[in-house]
């Protein structure tokens, strides 16, 4: 059986994020419910159980949880290799530049300007949703925010001058001179779930494809646009906070929609 209390304490001690702790503990409970004792045989059965039921990315997250527990109890020989995820030759579910421009235009009104700035900051900085939620007025004034990773590494997210000027003007009309940028009606910092849910509602309202309107999609848009205007993949990797440049190379690929458009235009024979 997995000692959940011990595992949770271990994860927090190793500076895992709250989301990672919750995800790993969920996997631990799932394993215990179906397989009980933490043995090599049961771990292999769990791996097969996962592969049959879940997407490769989910499988690997659950396996990482089991490997973390093996480290927690000093049993490294019980660690399992992750499954290989074959990357598709195209990007999926990325909002197009045209749809992004349309969405910005629709949201740029007094009633929805808050959401205009949500997508502007995501698409113009390349920030992850968790990073967006850390933004304060002080960061806008400074023109950047420094994000520190679990390993103590620092990444600077720059706020482009045009966006900075727009945001400061907006904040002035709100009478806000400090504190978190994106707060809810209760004055508390808005949650990632709250942002995702509202974006879905706005997607329906403005008749956009819901598959391409979600927080991380705008980060993808940032990367695609950056490479189109300034083809320096090494710099982009730094701006995105990628550990390896190989992760960034996916943005050299076109979306399936872009591929289709090119094929339709080029192949006339």
Number of folded domains that form the chain: 2
92 in a structural domain: no
36 in a structural domain: yes
Instruction: Give the CATH number for residue 105.
Output: 1.10.443.10
Same domain, 44 and 111: no
* pLDDT for res 88: 63
Q: How many CB atoms lie within 10 A of CB 33?
A: 8
Model pLDDT for residues 123-172, shown as the tens digit of each residue = 999 999 999 999 999 999 999 999 987 567 789 999 999 999 999 999 99
Alpha helices (H) along 36-55:
40-53
Model pLDDT for residues 166-201, shown as the tens digit of each residue = 999 999 999 999 999 999 988 899 999 999 999 999
Domain-terminating residue out of 78, 110, 125: 78
Same domain, 132 and 160: yes
Task: Tell me the whole-structure pTM to 2 decimals.
Answer: 0.69
What would the mean pLDDT of 45-73 be, rounded to a whole number?
93
Containing domain of residue 240, as a range?
97-266
Secondary structure class of 166 (helix, strand, coil): helix
Same domain, 161 and 52: no
Percent of the chain scoring above 90 in pLDDT: 74
* pLDDT for res 108: 96
Model pLDDT for residues 63-90, shown as the tens digit of each residue = 999 999 999 999 999 999 998 876 665 5
* pLDDT for res 55: 86
185 in a structural domain: yes
74-94: burial string, b at 16+ Cβ within 10 Å, e else = eeeebbeeeeeeeeeeebebb
Same domain, 130 and 47: no
Same domain, 58 and 115: no
**Residue 25 CB partners (closer than 8 Å, separation 6+):** 4, 7, 8, 11, 65
* pLDDT for res 86: 66
**CA separation for the pair 9, 49 (Å, rounded):** 27
* pLDDT for res 151: 61
* pLDDT for res 87: 62
142 in a structural domain: yes
Half-sphere exposure of 42 (CA within 13 A, CB side): 14
Assess whether pLDDT exceeds 90 at residue 29: yes
Same domain, 144 and 261: yes
């Amino acid at each position: 059986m997995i000692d959940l209390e011990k595992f949770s304490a271990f994860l927090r001690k190793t500076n895992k994020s709250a989301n990672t702790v919750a995800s790993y503990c969920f996997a631990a409970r799932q394993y215990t419910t179906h397989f009980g004792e933490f043995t090599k045989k049961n771990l292999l059965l769990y791996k097969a159980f996962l592969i049959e039921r879940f997407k490769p990315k989910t499988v690997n997250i659950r396996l990482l949880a089991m490997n973390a527990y093996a480290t927690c109890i000093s049993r490294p020989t019980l660690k399992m290799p992750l499954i290989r995820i074959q990357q598709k030759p195209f990007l999926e579910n990325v909002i197009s530049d045209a749809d992004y421009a349309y969405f910005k235009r629709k949201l740029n009104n007094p009633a929805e300007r808050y959401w205009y700035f949500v997508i502007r900051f995501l698409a113009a900085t390349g920030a992850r949703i968790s990073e967006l939620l850390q933004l304060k007025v002080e960061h806008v004034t400074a023109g950047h925010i420094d994000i520190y990773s679990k390993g103590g590494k620092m990444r600077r997210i720059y706020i482009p001058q045009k966006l900075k000027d727009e945001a400061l003007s907006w904040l002035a009309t709100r009478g806000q001179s400090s504190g978190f940028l994106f707060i809810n009606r209760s004055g508390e910092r808005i949650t990632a779930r709250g942002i995702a849910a509202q974006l879905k509602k706005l997607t329906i309202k403005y008749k956009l494809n819901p598959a391409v309107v979600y927080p991380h999609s705008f980060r993808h848009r940032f990367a695609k646009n950056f490479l189109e205007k300034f083809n320096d993949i090494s710099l982009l990797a730094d701006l995105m906070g990628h550990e390896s440049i190989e992760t960034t190379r996916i943005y050299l690929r076109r979306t399936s929609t872009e591929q289709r458009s090119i094929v339709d235009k080029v192949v006339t024979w």
